[in-house]
Amino acid sequence: MSFFSFGQTAEIDVVLNDAETRKKAEHKTEDGKKDKYFLFYDGETVSGKVNVTLKNPGKRLEHQGIKIEFVGQIELYYDRGNHHEFVSLVKDLARPGEITQSQTFDFEFTHVEKPYESYTGQNVKLRYFLRASVIRRLNDITKEMDIVVHTLSTYPELNSSIKMEVGIEDCLHIEFEYNKSKYHLKDVIVGKIYFLLVRIKIKHMEIDIIKRETTGTGPSVYHENDTIAKYEIMDGAPVRGESIPIRLFLAGYDLTPTMRDINKKFSVRYYLNLVLIDEEERRYFKQQEITLWRKGDVVRKSMSHQAAIASQRYEGSAASESAMEKIAKEESG
């Protein structure tokens, strides 16, 4: 925010109407730290007040209009000059004129569409924010306020299991099976590994969760792989006929829902990666994509009725736990 050292200036403050009761969510910033922001869902109304406080009481402030914007935008770090806006709403709060005393302006953006989840990655950032502006001939006075958006989903009970085989002819044959292919962010991955043929000396075996962020299109595509979790299955040599159970709790890891081709700008996908290391330090891999999603009924109590309706529209979410169960039965039956 920039001001001249002469004449009248002002400070702007944006306050939400439900700031006292609205839930906050932790969200990672670009520098890797976590801050708390007000949490919204698709379809919820965003309303509040813009306070314009004059720095020098008694002096008038001339302006070309006062407005507030609700913006959803994607910023690619390698293309910082271009902000790709997918939501852009404007409310005029005052016509051009002058202010002679501090004033408060009410605003309301009704049932705002917020189609994507807030995300801060290695090469891309998707953010939603309110921006209040006092427009002046030479220097606007502005104030931005970020919010966080979560997208809620429900998946039907029909959730196919994953079966995979790792094999090296006449040396190794392993089958592994996971209970399903779609997991909510607080879920548990349950599986089993069967050793059908073991003729090489395996000394270590682990499952990794890998996050793959893809940005850009065509020749300028960037891939960033990040190992989110490492789960040691065994340390030592298995024998033929042995089976090892797997229970991997997702709640302790920094995960987001799977995001596919968001506004044709980026994707975030997750993979289970089985890694075997033999005594000669050779590594064997097998990878399988899984879908992660944010479960709706955990936060349903804190949501307003309008947000429940919106999330019902979004991937079949329902307004209550019982309604969710009903939809799951209908979709799977």
pLDDT tens-digit series, residues 180-190: 999 999 999 99
Whether residue 2 has pLDDT greater than 60:
no
Residue 323, pLDDT score: 39
**What's the gap between Cα 210 and its chain centre?**
16
Supply 262's token pair.
């968001």
Supply 287's token pair.
């990878």
pLDDT tens sequence across 169-178? 777 788 888 8
Whether residue 78 has pLDDT greater than 90:
no
pLDDT tens sequence across 277-296? 888 888 888 889 999 999 87
Residues of the chain with pLDDT > 70, as a percent, come to 85
pLDDT interval class at 151 (50, 70, 90): very high
Q: In angstroms, rounded to a whole number, what is the distance separating the alpha carbons of residues 178 and 187?
A: 13
- To the nearest 10°, report the CA torsion of 44, 27, 207, 168: 80
Residue range 3-9: mean pLDDT, rounded: 54
Residue range 192-208: mean pLDDT, rounded: 84
CB of 8 closer than 8 Å to CB of 59: yes
Whether residue 106 has pLDDT greater than 80:
yes
Residues of the chain with pLDDT > 90, as a percent, come to 52
Residue 156, pLDDT score: 63
Supply 252's token pair.
């302790």
Q: Amino acid letter at 118?
A: S
Q: In angstroms, rounded to a whole number, what is the distance separating the alpha carbons of residues 201 and 280?
A: 9
3-class DSSP state of 253: coil
Q: Which residues of 128-166 are buried (b: 16+ CB within 10 A; e: fewer)?
A: bebbbbbebeeeebebebebbbbbbbbbeeeeeebebee
Nearest by Cα to 248 from 189, 315, 321: 189
Dihedral sign (CA 87, 93, 95, 98): negative
Whole-model pTM? 0.81
Secondary structure element (H or E) that encloses residue 238, with its range = none
Parallel, antiparallel or unpaired: strands 182-184 and 283-293? parallel
Nearest by Cα to 109 from 67, 69, 73: 69
More confident residue, 6 or 269: 269
